[in-house]
Amino acid sequence: MSTQLEKIQELISLREQARLGGGEKAIQKQHDRGKLTARERIAALLDEGSFEELDMFVRHRCTNFGQEKKSFLGDGVVTGYGTIDGRLVYVFAQDFTVFGGSLSETMSQKICKVMDMAMKMGAPVIGLNDSGGARIQEGINALAGYSEIFQRNILASGVIPQISAILGPCAGGAVYSPALTDFTIMTRGMSYMFLTGPKVVKTVLGEDVTQEQLGGADVHASKSGVTHFAANDGAEALAIIRKLISYIPQNNLEEAPLVECNDPIDRLEDSLNEIIPDNPNKAYDMYEVIGAVVDNGEFFEIQRDYARNIIIGFARFNGQSVGIVANQPKFLAGVLDCNSSRKAARFVRFCDAFNIPLVTLVDVPGFLPGTGQEYNAVILHGAKLLYAYGEATVPKITVTLRKSFGGSHIVMSCKQLRGDMNYAWPSAEIAVMGADGAAEVLYAKEAKEQEDPAKFLNEKKDEYTKLFANPYQAAKYGYIDDVIEPRNTRFRIIKALQQLATKKLTNPAKKHGNIPL
């Protein structure tokens, strides 16, 4: 064999070795845990055959604890680029078969390299996390490695979309990279995220808690809101990423992909003319409204199980991607509170950063009262949503279906927060507060002097309802651009989006604002 061929043979065998990561035994262990390997995950995530791997020959350089005797080609992470539906993305997947995917200095360098490339090329970066945390043998170098990644997450925020899947352990400071990214996906029974594990919790607080109870997918999807999606397995998690990517642009200078729309834009949805119950205290399901107006009824919900009184997610109108924010009357009467405000605010900011128009569907009775909310800073959380809508310069379309009272009216993308098209259904009630509260405040004293205070208050409520429980007071002042027939909502939103396609609006130049965090 010629020297040249020998060298090529050496390359082929080195590649084969690298593809085995930590070795066949470790791969088997990973499979026995019900998990895919890093390379299998990348293959499932990207378009077939599109992955180009980088830095396959990188090895760690640590010599502590005899580490020089134990090293693997590629170290503990597989990095590179490929496509999803033909669009460029950068990927890193931690390889649990190598030192439990723990982060070394060289691993950090590999990850930072693809992050830098993603920034230069203006393409999303996707991290598949499955790691035992900082590579303990490397000490402070591992910490520095994390810090390099975090710094890049911060600078990339609002420039390129960043997505994290947690497909195994993610503990300690390692949680902060996913937390800094735009969307996080966890897998049930397989992944967990926490700053301090069950052992520390037991020592410090005496509490017995399992990994799943402390930081499993369902906990973070429903209680903390740390994860945006909880998938049943790794394959579902990767499918969620592919879908998510389909709704968003490559970077902050581009628009989301336009897809062909076969759903008629002027489709009338008669059911909407009857969806609002006669009794204002009765609920209806906002999902039905969303499903009725968007293209083909397809709604890609985000944070479905967290703060269910507000609904957020992506959909399309005439093939154009939009972010939907909608109060859910079926859950806590659609009230705004700490969690729903935070949830919606972050989503509004994502959409604004990435040129995705916002469609807001309003039916909100107000903010949730009480010490629980006030002590948890509902003022600041509500202000986050207010701030997010107010600073957003993307096209903003608001449709008020029913209630829109007081502060919550303002917060939910009102006209004065630079709402572009603010529509209302005839059933809308846009007022300072609901009739019950208003009558109590205005006539409590007078009511006491009446023979029948309850009857008197009811009369006053009726008077108030007649005067204010309609959209025409707001429309009279131009705060509502038009009162629309519910069944026509889809068409009116699409017309508005078409009209707003060339919208140009910029905020005053500044280093950055000071959102009430």
User: How is residue 474 written in tokens?
Assistant: 């707001």
Please pick, from the candidates 74, 80, 82, 100, the single residue that binds ligand HXC as defined by CB under 6 A: 100
Contact call for residue 172 and ligand HXC (CB under 6 A): yes
* Min dist. Cβ of residue 190 to ligand HXC (A): 11
* Min dist. Cβ of residue 57 to ligand HXC (A): 21
Q: Contacts for 70-73 with beta carbons within 8 Å, 24 or more apart?
A: 72/18, 72/21, 72/22, 72/23, 72/98, 73/14, 73/17, 73/18
Please pick, from the candidates 21, 74, 127, 133, the single residue that binds ligand HXC as defined by CB under 6 A: 133
Distance CA 352, CA 390 (A): 11
Among 224, 297, 237, which Cα is nearest to 267's?
Answer: 297
Is residue 319 within 8 Å of residue 258, measured between CB atoms? Answer: yes
For the beta carbon of residue 439, count every other beta carbon within 10 angstroms.
Answer: 22
Instruction: Compare residues 134 and 156 and give the one whose CB is closer to ligand HXC.
Output: 134
Please pick, from the candidates 82, 124, 169, 249, the single residue that binds ligand HXC as defined by CB under 6 A: 169
Please pick, from the candidates 134, 245, 302, 421, the single residue that binds ligand HXC as defined by CB under 6 A: 134
Is residue 93 within 8 Å of residue 39, measured between CB atoms? Answer: yes
Contact call for residue 201 and ligand HXC (CB under 6 A): no
Contact call for residue 319 and ligand HXC (CB under 6 A): no
Binding mask 113-132 for ligand HXC (x = CB under 6 A): -------------------x
Distance CA 360, CA 410 (A): 12
Is residue 386 within 8 Å of residue 411, measured between CB atoms? Answer: yes
Burial class (CB in 10 A: 0-12, 13-18, 19+), 243: middle
Instruction: Compare residues 172 and 280 and give the one whose CB is closer to ligand HXC.
Output: 172
Please pick, from the candidates 143, 268, 379, 442, the single residue that binds ligand HXC as defined by CB under 6 A: 143
Instruction: Compare residues 94 and 408 and give the one whose CB is closer to ligand HXC.
Output: 94
* Min dist. Cβ of residue 174 to ligand HXC (A): 5
Among 503, 286, 240, 310, which Cα is nearest to 397's?
Answer: 503
Among 175, 97, 95, 105, which Cα is nearest to 135's?
Answer: 105
Among 171, 148, 155, 135, which Cα is nearest to 62's?
Answer: 135
* Min dist. Cβ of residue 212 to ligand HXC (A): 13
* Min dist. Cβ of residue 198 to ligand HXC (A): 10
* Min dist. Cβ of residue 133 to ligand HXC (A): 3
Contact call for residue 135 and ligand HXC (CB under 6 A): yes
Give whole-number Cα distances, 12 to 9, 18, 225, 426, in Å: 5, 10, 46, 70
Instruction: Compare residues 102 and 320 and give the one whose CB is closer to ligand HXC.
Output: 102
Instruction: Compare residues 134 and 326 and give the one whose CB is closer to ligand HXC.
Output: 134
* Segment interacting with ligand HXC (CB under 6 A) among 133-141, 339-347, 426-434, 441-449: 133-141
* Min dist. Cβ of residue 26 to ligand HXC (A): 6
* Min dist. Cβ of residue 93 to ligand HXC (A): 16
**Residue 406: its H or E element:** helix 406-411
* Min dist. Cβ of residue 376 to ligand HXC (A): 27
* Min dist. Cβ of residue 76 to ligand HXC (A): 9
Instruction: Compare residues 134 and 185 and give the one whose CB is closer to ligand HXC.
Output: 134
Please pick, from the candidates 136, 195, 205, 253, the single residue that binds ligand HXC as defined by CB under 6 A: 136
DSSP one-letter string for 231-283: ESSHHHHHHHHHHHHHHS-SSTTSPPPP----S-TT---GGGGG-S-SSTT--
Please pick, from the candidates 20, 67, 148, 173, the single residue that binds ligand HXC as defined by CB under 6 A: 173
Q: Contacts for 23-32 with beta carbons within 8 Å, 24 or more apart?
A: 23/72, 23/97, 26/96, 26/97, 26/98, 27/97, 29/97, 30/96, 30/97
Contact call for residue 195 and ligand HXC (CB under 6 A): no
* Min dist. Cβ of residue 30 to ligand HXC (A): 9
* Segment interacting with ligand HXC (CB under 6 A) among 169-177, 199-207, 373-381, 453-461: 169-177
Distance CA 127, CA 108 (A): 12
Instruction: Compare residues 133 and 161 and give the one whose CB is closer to ligand HXC.
Output: 133
Contact call for residue 99 and ligand HXC (CB under 6 A): yes
Contact call for residue 178 and ligand HXC (CB under 6 A): no
Is residue 77 within 8 Å of residue 101, measured between CB atoms? Answer: yes
Contact call for residue 146 and ligand HXC (CB under 6 A): yes
- Site for ligand HXC (CB under 6 A): how many residues? 14
b/e per residue, 496-505, with b = 16+ CB within 10 A? bbeeeeeeee
* Segment interacting with ligand HXC (CB under 6 A) among 36-44, 168-176, 240-248, 498-506: 168-176
Give me the amino acid identity at 443: Y
Distance CA 394, CA 399 (A): 16
Contact call for residue 102 and ligand HXC (CB under 6 A): yes
Contact call for residue 234 and ligand HXC (CB under 6 A): no
Distance CA 229, CA 158 (A): 20
User: How many whole angstroms from its chain centre is CA 90?
Assistant: 19
* Min dist. Cβ of residue 244 to ligand HXC (A): 26
Is residue 166 within 8 Å of residue 227, measured between CB atoms? Answer: yes
Give me the amino acid identity at 428: A
* Min dist. Cβ of residue 217 to ligand HXC (A): 16
Instruction: Compare residues 198 and 323 and give the one whose CB is closer to ligand HXC.
Output: 198
Contacting residues toward ligand HXC, per CB under 6 A: 99-100, 102, 132-136, 143, 146, 169, 172-174
